[in-house]
Structure 1
């Protein structure tokens, strides 16, 4: 069977408008062939669900940088999902990250260690967050609905922050993970998560691909499309991996394997070309 896995940010979605209009031809081609499209995002479930709704997708998806994998009810037979899955209607969930409240505790601990003003999404009102991010109240509301990650602002020395985080762990011993991100031109933001898994995003993708294999009993022909460094985690486990041009693609391309491809166009236009080319190459291979 064929399956497409794609990051959303800077890849399927235009970084300026969050639109995907230039990818409509490829999206329609995937739908005609009943090829699953798996969305992968650093955003929380509420935001990814909104994109899934717009795209009319009913396939699994991965949120918060790989910290959670969601499979819709009745998508796979009961025999495919083992006891490690958590049933949270309307999904079955694989949680690879620690819960949000534990991350909030760790953020408070970091604040005390550094004696610094670390302000997380959970500290802002929706109106304040909307102003900070330059988005609507509705988008800010969804951005705050985090389950396995937190985003916070910090204007101090990044090395001091990393050193402080290295000395902390959650209740189950999960080490903290920090990644600098760019959400605002006026403040430095960090993506905070924690997991016992050394590469939760890669693990989430491997779990999902195994589910497809166990369900259909055949090997998958997978396409992975990304544009940022963290996307390398899932690109390395797809049969075909393509990087789209972006402000951060050089750090991703530094991790590239010999078989990876670099697309000519960025964003949804490049995504459209990549998918259509892949379909031409693989039509008839199943």
Structure 2
């Protein structure tokens, strides 16, 4: 391939099957990307523990973005050059942690104060037991425990109607919080989304390589909208569970023929081998 590509992908419902969380039907495309040195960037609502575990399973040594764009982890020594910016960077063991959102305790504090004056119906991860989360998601107990290890966001099981959800989001915006609808949960975080760290990361790749990169993004939910809109090539993966994210105008928009990892595999191979 003459072009330099970066692939940014959502996980649940996109690279991973919505119901089983398996990825094996995407293995041909994953292996092809590895052979061609195309970095695959996980850009997910999942936690550090969940995402780093999947990186190890798939032998993916590239940066990853967690909790809907709240933070990005880049392996140390991955880049030689650093951007001049005001993004906070912290030492996180084997990684540099770039923080784009708020700490979870601050989010929970604002939600607690807000709940005293409002009557919206929802249940947050912080009040769920691990077994309750298992029932909501189909995750095993160990996986559900990893999902509860939030650092920068609070997912909510929405128990109210959709009209009230829109009102809820408007109220929280006044408190400096962003509300993003995912595949299963409503996520409350700071003023970030999946696009902001990804745009920063693309600039890092281009700074360190001295060449332009084409960004391919794949997602299936409303929380992927910002990521898809910022990509050079946006791929909407067909979902069995909900409507596709609404992408109004995009110069290169692709909709997969198949759901989940099958659609991911076919579309990625088609783009890279075209």
TM range (shorter): 0.7 to 0.9
Any gaps of 5 or more consecutive residues in structure 2?
none
Query: TM-score of the superposition, structure 1-length normalised?
Result: 0.84
What is the number of equivalent residue pairs in this alignment?
Answer: 270
Give the whole-Å Cα distance in 1 for the aligned partners of 2:240 and 2:12. Answer: 12
Name the SS for the 1:39 alignment partner.
strand
Preserved contact between residue 243 and residue 253 of structure 1 (Cα < 8 Å): no
- State whether structure 2 residue 54 is matched by structure 1 residue 51: yes
Preserved contact between residue 183 and residue 242 of structure 2 (Cα < 8 Å): no
1:79-98 maps to which residues of 2 (within 5 A)?
79-80=82-83, 84=87, 85-98=89-102
Give 1:273's aligned residue: 266
Give the whole-Å Cα distance in 1 for the aligned partners of 2:183 and 2:229. Answer: 24
Preserved contact between residue 81 and residue 208 of structure 2 (Cα < 8 Å): no
Give 2:238's aligned residue: 245
Residue by residue, what CA displacement relative to the aligned partner does 1:215-269 show, whole Å, maximum 9, x if unpaired?
0010002222222233221222322222121147754244342421112112111
Preserved contact between residue 72 and residue 197 of structure 2 (Cα < 8 Å): yes
Give the stretch that moved more between structures: 159-168 or 264-273: 159-168
Give 2:159's aligned residue: 155
Give 1:206's aligned residue: 199
Query: TM-score of the superposition, structure 2-length normalised?
Result: 0.88
Give 1:114's aligned residue: 118
Deviation at 1:40, TM superposition (A): 0.9
Give the whole-Å Cα distance in 2 for the aligned partners of 1:138 and 1:174. Answer: 34
Any gaps of 5 or more consecutive residues in structure 1?
184-188, 282-286
Residue by residue, what CA displacement relative to the aligned partner does 1:137-175 show, whole Å, maximum 9, x if unpaired?
101110110011101234335544654554457xxx862
Give 1:41's aligned residue: 44
Give 2:227's aligned residue: 234
Deviation at 1:71, TM superposition (A): 0.6
- In the superposition, relative to structure 1, how do residues 242 and 160 fare at CA in structure 2: closer, same or farther (>3 Å)? closer
- In the superposition, relative to structure 1, how do residues 102 and 219 fare at CA in structure 2: closer, same or farther (>3 Å)? same
Name the SS for the 2:57 alignment partner.
helix
1:6-155 maps to which residues of 2 (within 5 A)?
6-80=9-83, 84=87, 85-115=89-119, 118-155=122-159
Name the SS for the 2:102 alignment partner.
coil
Give 2:190's aligned residue: 194
Give the whole-Å Cα distance in 2 for the aligned partners of 1:34 and 1:100. Answer: 35
Preserved contact between residue 134 and residue 140 of structure 2 (Cα < 8 Å): yes
Name the SS for the 1:11 alignment partner.
coil
- In the superposition, relative to structure 1, how do residues 31 and 11 fare at CA in structure 2: closer, same or farther (>3 Å)? same
Give 2:257's aligned residue: 264
Deviation at 1:182, TM superposition (A): 5.0
